[in-house]
């Protein structure tokens, strides 16, 4: 597989979980996402896409009342088929199996953050993760969430990945969140933290773990000798300590340790020019120090085509590379191609054997 194809198919080892007896296709749980956003709409549209139907079996986890009102549903020919668990699903014809948690009030408003929508989206994530940990599905995909709504609902973590990590028994430093796009793939050392806290959280251990996870994911995707590039934190890569010492004290030691493990890794490079090379695919995986570093370049090149995925957890977790889009919720104009590509990537990841 060439490097460009590997970037598009960046996947990791098979997630824990057994396929349903006699079914050769991977089984995925699709959590509906924030019910006040575009999640229900793009989920329904994607589940009627023939590419998805040919690649995997999907059980929707959500609220049937919300789904029935989702724009785009009436335009299709699919029908909801309530089930209690994935093994009850038939996947015949145009039916969409749904585990109906019935957790959203009919009067719940669209297009705004609320504790109710936050609690509902967390319920979908919890149920889907429990199915994966029990081996009833091969992976979890989730539609866009809204972190303000989840905070209103009492989420005690910076983001959903902290929630997943606790459920899976994984330490924060032992997983990495990657964004996979057609042009390049990005691994972030820190994610949903205020910038000051992100800087304080940087350690050589976390940088090294991120490099390792990016390398492992690229290897699994078919790149035999992945090239990893690492961004600096400070302007001009710190200019030998005059503009900051994190490059010298934190990032370079991690890079040297990774090289000692046989990983082809370079850096740290000044971020303002480093990410300019992404359009040419100079590296197979780009490592950024905080959330926005790298995402600006990735979204300029691949917005609507990138998938976010967790590496280092025992469950496959994937989601789209955009948010809940409250401003267009309920209008029926949300594009679902990103969800289709995310489901296809999750299906490929779930069927890999190593």
Per the DSSP assignment, residues forming a β-bridge with 97 are 81
Query: Is there a domain that residue 177 lies in?
Result: no
Query: Is there a domain that residue 176 lies in?
Result: no
Instruction: Please name the residues in contact with 294: beta carbons below 8 A apart, sequence gap of 6 or more.
Output: 179, 186, 188, 231, 271, 275, 278, 286, 288
Q: How many CB atoms lie within 10 A of CB 25?
A: 18
Residues 15 and 128 in one domain: yes
Residues 20 and 98 in one domain: yes
Q: Please give the pLDDT value at position 2.
A: 44
Mean predicted confidence (pLDDT) in 328-335: 91
Last residue of a domain, one of 267, 289, 304: 304
Tokens of 204: 């050589």
- Alpha-carbon distance of 17 to 34, in angstroms, equals 26
- Relative orientation angle of helices 252-260 and 204-220, to the nearest 10 degrees: 40
Q: Please give the pLDDT value at position 92.
A: 83
- Higher-pLDDT residue of 245 and 302 is 245
Number of domains in the chain: 2
What is the value of pTM for the model shown? 0.80
Query: Is there a domain that residue 212 lies in?
Result: yes
Residues 81 and 207 in one domain: no
Q: In what order do the strands lie in the sheet with 227-231?
A: 79-82, 95-100, 57-62, 27-31, 139-142, 317-320, 307-311, 176-180, 185-188, 285-288, 227-231, 264-269
Q: What is the pLDDT of residues 16-43, one digit of tens each?
A: 233 444 557 999 999 999 999 999 999 9
- Higher-pLDDT residue of 12 and 2 is 2
CATH code of the domain in which 200 resides: 3.40.718.10
Q: Please give the pLDDT value at position 74.
A: 58
Residues 218 and 242 in one domain: yes
Q: Please give the pLDDT value at position 280.
A: 85
The length of the chain is 354
Residues 210 and 326 in one domain: no
Asked if residue 6 has pLDDT above 50, the reply is no
Residues 298 and 317 in one domain: no
Residues 35 and 157 in one domain: yes
Q: Please give the pLDDT value at position 17.
A: 33
Domain limits at 218?
A: 183-304
Mean predicted confidence (pLDDT) in 103-107: 88
Q: Please give the pLDDT value at position 30.
A: 98
Q: Give 14's DSSP letter.
A: P
* Sequence-ordered strand ranges (E) for the chain: 27-31, 57-62, 79-82, 95-100, 139-142, 176-180, 185-188, 227-231, 264-269, 285-288, 307-311, 317-320
Query: Is there a domain that residue 120 lies in?
Result: yes
Residues 67 and 114 in one domain: yes
Q: What is the pLDDT of residues 131-172, one digit of tens each?
A: 999 999 999 999 999 999 999 999 888 889 889 999 999 987
Residues 62 and 127 in one domain: yes
Residues 298 and 313 in one domain: no
Q: What is the pLDDT of residues 239-277, one digit of tens each?
A: 989 999 999 999 999 999 999 999 999 999 999 999 999
Q: How many CB atoms lie within 10 A of CB 10?
A: 28
Q: Assign 15 a pLDDT band (cuts: 50, 70, 90).
A: very low
Last residue of a domain, one of 266, 286, 304: 304
Residues 252 and 145 in one domain: no
């Amino acid at each position: 597989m060439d490097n460009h194809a590997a970037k598009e198919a960046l996947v990791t080892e098979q997630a824990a979980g057994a396929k349903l007896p006699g079914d050769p296709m991977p089984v995925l749980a699709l959590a509906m996402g924030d019910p006040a956003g575009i999640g229900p709409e793009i989920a329904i549209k994607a589940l009627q896409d023939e590419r998805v139907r040919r690649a995997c079996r999907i059980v929707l986890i959500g609220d049937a009342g919300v789904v029935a009102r989702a724009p785009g549903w009436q335009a299709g020919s699919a029908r909801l088929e309530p089930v209690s668990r994935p093994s009850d699903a038939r996947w015949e014809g145009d039916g969409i199996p749904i585990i109906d948690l019935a957790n959203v009030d009919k009067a719940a408003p669209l297009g705004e953050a609320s504790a109710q929508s936050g609690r509902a989206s967390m319920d979908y994530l919890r149920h889907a993760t429990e199915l994966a940990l029990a081996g009833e599905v091969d992976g979890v995909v989730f539609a866009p969430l809204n972190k303000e709504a989840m905070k209103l609902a009492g989420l005690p973590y910076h983001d959903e990945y902290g929630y997943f990590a606790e459920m899976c028994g994984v330490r924060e430093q032992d997983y990495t969140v990657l964004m996979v796009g057609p042009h390049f793939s990005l691994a972030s050392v820190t994610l949903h933290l205020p910038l000051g806290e992100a800087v304080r959280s940087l350690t050589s251990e976390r940088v090294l773990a991120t490099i390792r996870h990016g390398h492992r994911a690229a290897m699994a995707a078919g790149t035999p000798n992945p090239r990893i590039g690492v961004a600096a934190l400070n302007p001009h890569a710190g200019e030998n300590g005059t503009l900051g010492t994190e490059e010298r004290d934190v990032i370079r030691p991690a890079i040297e340790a990774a090289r000692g493990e046989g990983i082809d890794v370079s850096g740290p490079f000044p971020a303002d020019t480093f990410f300019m090379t992404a359009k040419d695919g100079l590296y197979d995986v780009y490592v950024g120090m905080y959330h926005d570093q790298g995402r600006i370049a990735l979204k300029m090149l691949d917005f609507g085509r990138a998938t976010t995925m967790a590496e280092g957890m025992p469950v496959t977790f994937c989601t789209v590379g955009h948010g809940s889009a409250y401003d267009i919720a309920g209008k029926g104009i949300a594009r679902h191609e990103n969800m289709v590509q995310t489901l296809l990537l999750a299906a490929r990841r779930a069927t890999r054997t190593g």
